[in-house]
Structure 1
Amino acid sequence: MLGLAFAMAGNPQQGAGNPLIGFIPLILIFVIFYFLLIRPQQKRAKEHQKFLENLKRGDQVFTSGGLVGRVEKVDHDLVHLEIAPNVKVKVVKAYIAGPLNPPEPK
């Protein structure tokens, strides 16, 4: 009976070979992940930071909260927006989402 169990067990595996070969697919997945997701996100963040540094009076912007207004004054971390005639609000500079580009007439 014991001999039959050994016969059915099969051959032992050969040496595992180079252990780095098992990591190649993981490395490839990470490289693809970096170029498709991480790098474009870093590029957008850098462009947004540059936009915030170049804010000036008169720029039309919108906030991440949905407010639309014209920049009246830029402080270190605050932006003073005029959202309606004689209605001014202070917004933290980090919450300025982007420039408001009016639609071009056709």
Structure 2
Amino acid sequence: MFQGMPLAGAQAGGGIVSLIVPLVLMVAIFYFLMIRPQNKKQKQRNAMLNQLKKGDKIVTIGGLHGTIAEITDDVVVLRVNDVTKLTFDRNAISSAVSRETAVE
């Protein structure tokens, strides 16, 4: 009655290998194109945050430019002008502005 249909058990050995190889290949490509570069960027960001010190010019994630007046482990106080000081979380810092490109 079912003579024309192949048995599922007979093809299981070759079928599983042919499914696993592309899956492993996709995971490896995903790792090298997505996860590894993101980890590298995160390490660079953490290094930049750890090297900040009083007097550095920075930009926050909201685009606010300022100079670090005080810094602790979690909190940064920015001097925006001669009078205004704002308190931010250390993680709110987007980048440090180099002294050559800083606009006075």
Q: TM-score under structure 2 normalisation?
A: 0.81
CA distance in 2, matches of 1:41, 1:54: 20
RMSD: 1.9
Give every structure 1 segment of 4 or more consecutive aligned residues whose post-TM-superposition deviation is greater than 6 Å: none
Q: How many residues align?
A: 97
Trace 1:1-106 onto structure 2 (pairs within 5 A).
10-13=4-7, 14-18=10-14, 19-101=16-98, 102=101
List runs of 5+ in structure 1 lacking aligned partners.
1-5
Larger Rg: 1
Deviation at 1:95, TM superposition (A): 0.6
Task: Give the percent of matched residue pairs that are identical in Structure 1 and Structure 2.
Answer: 34
Offset at 1:16? 2.5
State the alpha-carbon separation in 1 of the partners of residues 86 and 80 from structure 2.
7
Q: Output the TM-score relative to the length of structure 1.
A: 0.80
Give the C-alpha shift of residue 31 in structure 1. 0.5
